[in-house]
Amino acid sequence: MSAVEVRGLGVRVGDATLLSDVELSVEPGTWCTIVGPNGAGKTTLVETVAGLRRPTRGTVTVGGCDIHSLTERRRALRLSLVAQHPVVPPGMSVADFVALGRTAHHGVLRAPNARDREAVAGVLDRLDLAALAPRDVATLSGGERQRAVLARALVQSTPVVVLDEPTAGLDLRHQVELLALLRREVSEGGLAVVATLHDLSLASQFADRLVLLDHGRVVLDDRPRDVLRSDELSRCYGLAFRVVDVDGTDIVVPVIPSVTPA
């Protein structure tokens, strides 16, 4: 069974069509990254997959269940979300912030049990956050804060994680570190990931598949190297690209038109 199945998905808001006839299937242990120009519908797609937005037509199933038919708590047991602009409350320790991810397991009115505390400690350790556990989450650097947000998602222990531009605002080192941590969870833990990324080079290095979205429609769904070398990529972005192989890694370089001085 696929971890995520999207069938005939359409989203309309008023007269605007944001998504149209989107088909997507993501297996366990697979990282699928949605790419495309601004306004392509990437955030709308991940929000709909995560259950935050209801589709006009079509279905999203996670583990065989329609994600939009589930209660918020039952949805949180199947899928976790890292939003593009996560809310980080001040005055809360890193450990307590990460522990919020266990709420769906023990309920709002019950205190965390030994299994919850063990899960939190394990994720803090895996993401190298144990030393920061007592710190106020609001005092963390950008990279540390994003790791804490990812930790909160991972401690939910869901088979699927959805991320919308998880590296936004991070410098290159912290982008790579965060994506490498997530890649390890996919490879070693069988996690299914649906993410959006603007950086095509980083997307190709960490994802198993790239889905090229444009005007709310899937244009390509293939291996990263095939999507990056396609004519459709340049057409959708309205920009020519060169793909350079650097020690087996594809680097995407935009071709800047020459400008003749006046």
For residues 16 and 155, what is the distance between their CA atoms, to the nearest angstrom? Answer: 37
- CA triple 191-193-194, angle to 5 deg: 160
Residue 108, pLDDT score: 64
Tokens representing 220 are 């390509």
Residue 247, pLDDT score: 87
For residues 115 and 99, what is the distance between their CA atoms, to the nearest angstrom? Answer: 11
Residue 259, pLDDT score: 63
Q: How far is CA 77 from CA 89, 139, 157, in A?
A: 23, 29, 7
Residue 109, pLDDT score: 58
Residue 262, pLDDT score: 59
Residue 115, pLDDT score: 84
Chunked in runs of 10, what are the mean pLDDT values of the chain (262 residues)? 94 95 96 96 96 96 94 93 85 93 78 83 91 93 90 93 90 89 92 96 96 97 96 94 90 81 60
Question: Could you tell me if 216 and 41 are in contact, meaning their C-beta atoms sit under 8 angstroms apart?
Answer: yes
Name the pTM for this structure: 0.90
Instruction: Fill in the amino acid letter for 198.
Output: H
**Domains of the chain, CATH where assigned:** 1-78+158-262 (3.40.50.300), 89-157 (no CATH)
